[in-house]
A and B are shown apart, each in its own frame.
Chain A
Amino acid sequence: MSGAANHNDARSLPAGANAAAPLLEIRALRVSFSLEDGRRLTAVDGINLSVSPGEAIGIAGESGSGKSTAASAIMGLLPPNGRIDSGSIRYRGLDLVAEGAPLRRTRWREIAVVFQGSLVALNPVIKVRDQVAEAIELRLGEPANAAREKAKRLLADVGIPDKRLEAYPHQLSGGQRQRAMLAVALSCSPAVLIGDEPTTALDVIVQAQILELLDRMRHEYGLGLILITHDLAVIADMCDRVAIMYGGRIVESGSVREVFTNPRHPYTQALLGAAPDARAGRRTIKVLEGQPPDLASLPPGCHFAPRCPLADARCTEEDPPTVSYEDRVTLACHRYEPNGGALPAPVAAPYPVLELGKR
Chain B
Amino acid sequence: MKLRGWLLGRVGGALATILMVLLLNFVLFRLMPGSPDRTLARNPRVSAEAIAAARVRWGLDKPLFPDQLVAYVGATLSGDFGYSVKYGGREVTSVIGEKIAPTLLIVGLGEIIALAAGIALGAWTGWRRGKFGDRVGTLSALILYSMPYFWLGMLLVTLFATTLGWLPTSGISTPGGPGGVAGIVDLLRHAALPIATIALGLIGQYAILLRSSVAEALREGYVLTARAKGLRDDRILRGHILPNALLPTVTLAALNAGYVIGGALTVEIVFSWPGLGLLTQEALQSRDYPVLQGIFLLLSISVVVANLLADLLYSRLDPRVRHGAAR
Contact = CB atoms under 8 A, between A and B. Distances in A.
Given A125-B317, A134-B239, A139 B230 contact: yes
Interface string A163-193: 0000010110000000000001000000000
A122 B224 CA distance: 10
A72 to B, nearest CB: 9
Interface string B217-237: 000111011111111100100
A104 B232 CA distance: 8
Interface in A101-151: 103-109, 112-113, 115, 117, 120-126, 134-135, 138-139
Given A134-B239, A135-B229, A168 B320 contact: yes
A121 B220 CA distance: 8
B224 A77 contact: yes
B230 A168 contact: no
B253 to A, nearest CB: 18
A29 interface: no
A189 B178 CA distance: 68
A120 B244 contact: no
A214 B296 CA distance: 64
Contacts of A121: 221-222, 224-225
B320 A170 contact: yes
Given A77-B224, A120-B220, A125-B244, A135 B230 contact: yes
Nearest to A123: B222
What's the interface size class on A, roughly?
20 to 34
A75 interface: yes
A113 B228 CA distance: 7
A261 to B, nearest CB: 36
Interface in B194-238: 220-222, 224-232, 235
Interface in B29-61: none
B243 A75 contact: no
A115 B229 CA distance: 13
A107 B228 contact: yes
A134 B225 CA distance: 12
B229 to A, nearest CB: 5
A75 B320 CA distance: 30
A138 B229 CA distance: 9
Nearest to B324: A170
A124 B228 contact: no
Contacts of B323: 168, 170-171
Given A125-B243, A170-B319, A170-B323, A120 B222 contact: yes
Contacts of A107: 227-230
Contacts of B222: 120-124
Most B CB within 10 A of own CB, among A112, A121, A168, A171: A121
A191 to B, nearest CB: 14
A112 to B, nearest CB: 7
B243 A126 contact: yes
B228 A112 contact: yes
B238 to A, nearest CB: 12
Interface of B: 220-222, 224-232, 235, 239-240, 243-244, 317-320, 323
